[in-house]
Amino acid sequence: MAVHVKCRNVIYLDGPQRFPVPDELVGWQTVWPAYAPVDYTSKKVTSMPPWADDERKLREFKFNEIEGLVNRTSFEGQYAIDAHARPINPKGRTGICGRGLLGRFGPNHAADPIVTRFLRDAAGVIVRNPEGHPMLECVLIKRQDTGQWALPGGMVEAGDTVSLTLKKEFGEEAMNSIEASEEKRTEIMASLDTLFAHGTVIYKGYVDDPRNTDNSWMETVAMNFHDANGTVFGAIQLHAGDDAGEVMWVTLDPAMQLYASHADFIARVIDLHWGKCPAMPKEAAPKQCLVVQFTWV
Ligand code: RP5
């Protein structure tokens, strides 16, 4: 991602108008004395839910480190801290300082499951596009906050691993495990243990999320779980839950518009399955083609 765009939207989701930042002034390396970002942290954050930092301890946080159960390291490398002890967004200006709707100062870590299968006709034959490439379907949700289609991802909660978050979020948003009985929830999580046993890392790093600010930003690990035979994920029952308004299998298109950076992840998945970007060890992969075969142990 060259320059972040979606986190320079004019009106912040539940807040004020951002200070306008043109493309050429996004990078901090360009001195801009007139830059006056609006300081905004949502009441949802200052009311101090368990997922948010206590601002009174700002100078005590161990930025760029794993601090107890909270991972304050960034996939983008060491980030700088400003004169007010706040982390500085490594991708540049956003027009808002403070935390906006995000709980953590610095990186807020998420995980995004990309569950795919080939599109098949009524006879079970894989449908191909005019170039002969197999068409793909992916489980997407419609977010209630922005109304946009998105991957069923979510925040890595303090103490949780990425692998657990991938399953938990898919269970909550695409299978409504939150409202299921204890017994059903255990069943859902057990089925996801099997379904999510083998995956491919598609992306790790900064997300151009509309909630990002100059001091708080989203990062994610996006993983593809592909059902090549169309037998594994067919058995799951999709049911929107938590912050998802709708859930469905959607036919993928490289030009589709999705929440945050999700369309970029989808483009990588399409390339992967169309043989344009074969999965290979990270060290051997070309930079623009970073995918790693992965099996949980
Ligand atoms: C995006 O926000 C991530 O890619 C992930 O999909 C999502 C996590 O936030 P919530 O869905 O939990 O709000 O940046």
Q: Which residues contact 58 (CB under 8 A, 6 or more apart)?
A: 84, 85, 86, 105
Give the pLDDT confidence of 138-153 residue by residue, as tens digits.
999 999 889 999 999 9
The ligand 1 atom at the shortest distance from the C-alpha of residue 207 is: 14
The mean-pLDDT minimum among 83-97, 159-173, 197-211, 228-242 falls in 228-242
Task: Give CA–CA dist 129/127, Å, rounded.
Answer: 7
pLDDT at 58: 96
Residue nearest to atom 11 of ligand 1 (CA): 154
Residue type, 256: M
Nearest to 247 by CA among 117, 118, 111, 149: 149
pLDDT at 2: 65
Residue nearest to atom 7 of ligand 1 (CA): 154
> What pTM did the predictor assign?
0.90
User: 213 CA distance to ligand 1 centroid (A)?
Assistant: 15
61-73 average pLDDT score? 96
Task: Please list every protein residue whose CB sits less than 6 Å from any atom of ligand 1.
Answer: 110, 112, 150-151, 153-155, 207, 209, 218, 220, 260
pLDDT over 60 at 294, yes or no: no
Task: Give CA–CA dist 25/37, Å, rounded.
Answer: 13
Tokens 């935390």 label which residue? Answer: 99
13-27 average pLDDT score? 94
pLDDT at 277: 61
What is the average pLDDT value for the chain, to the nearest integer? 88
Distances (CA, A) of 121 to 117, 118, 127, 175, 222: 13, 10, 6, 25, 28
Can you give the chain as a three-state secondary structure string? Answer: CCCCCHHHCCECCCCCECCCCCHHHCCCCCCCCCCCCEEEECHHHHCCCCCCCCHHHHHHCCCCCEECCEECCCCCCCCCECCCCCECCCCCCCCEEEEECCCCCEEEEEEEEEEEEECECCCCCECECCCCCECEEEEEEEECCCCCEECCCEECCCCCCHHHHHHHHHHHHHCCHHHCCHHHHHHHHHHHHHHCCEEEEEEEEEECCCCCCCCEEEEEEEEEEEECCCCCHHHCCCCCCCCEEEEEEEECCCCCCCCCCHHHHHHHHHHHHCCCCCCCCHHHCCHHHCCEEEECC
pLDDT over 70 at 239, yes or no: yes
User: 211 CA distance to ligand 1 centroid (A)?
Assistant: 10
Nearest to 70 by CA among 156, 154, 153, 166: 156
